[in-house]
Amino acid sequence: MPENWPSYAVPMPAIGAPETTAEFDRAVDVLAGRRVAVLTGAGVSTDSGIPDYRGRGTPVRTPMSFQQFRSDARFRQRYWAGSHLGWRRFHAAQPNAGHLALTDLERAGVVPGVITQNVDDLHLRAGTRHVVDLHGTMHTVSCLDCGQVFAREAIAARLAESNPWLESDALLELSPDGDVPVAEFDATVVPECAVCGGVLKPGVVFFGELVPPLKYEEAAALVADADALLVAGSSLVVNSGIRVLELARRHRLPIVIVNRGETKGDGRAAVKVDAGTTETLVALRRALIGG
């Protein structure tokens, strides 16, 4: 990370067991002795400084669609300006105790892998080895014309050189997809593919864009290899999350949901734990593998 970039690592307090509830005890009973596939959403990363789309008090927001980005150069100017500002914060964020708890559960053989709707790469950076990123990652960029893939750092360096005003630390309304609304973007110089001069796009699934079929196949294989599904930090509003939930139901797996507030899957869960994701994952790790 460049030395002049701010750090957005969130100091984590000492985390004890969550308040003892019947729901938490039931969740432990359901998951104990089983191989647990995990589906995570934005709520897993809030304690790393990355906001939730649909948490309590979160304003309604419609992301830019793939069609807008693909068809209009001005939309690309707006997106790249906001995405660059947001990616700086994503790049500086650190895994929190919830990410690390899932990594420990994977290493212990309890979790065969994590399916995530997040694009921040924090599960991988926490050390989890099998991660299915349904919505892609902010840390790569690909050319829509020739398919060449670039590291995001290289594209960020080109953006910063051509648009020094984007190096400001002013950052408003960061979203979980790494975008930041910007009012003035007409002067943004958008990088082109260094191979063919084509249109570059961050490696995330845009609103209105389909999740790659191979990603769903990988998620389906992970669920099929499990004995239970744990959903952590997702409201399950996005169709990709519900599809994973339905995969688990078709395999007759018990489902545990951990999330603050209502989710679209609550009625289909064996147990719903309405509590903070980080502290609950830490407590589940302690209950399932000790330490």
Are 204 and 59 contacting, i.e. CB atoms less than 8 angstroms apart?
Answer: no
Mark whether 91 is an active-site residue.
no
Q: Which of 84, 135, 139, 251 is catalytic?
A: 135
SS (H, E, C) the chain: CCCCCCCCCCCCCCCCCCCCCHHHHHHHHHHCCCCEEEEECHHHCHHHCCCCCCCCCCCCCCCCEHHHHHHCHHHHHHHHHHHHHHHHHHHHCCCCHHHHHHHHHHHCCCCCCEEECCCCCHHHHHCCCCEEECCEEEEEEEECCCCCEEEHHHHHHHHHHHCHHHHCCCCCCCCCCCCCCCCCCCCCCCCECCCCCCEEEEEECCECCCCCHHHHHHHHHHHHCCCEEEEECCCCCCHHHHHHHHHHHHCCCCEEEECCCCCCCHHHCCEEECCCHHHHHHHHHHHHHCC
User: Catalytic site residues?
Assistant: 135
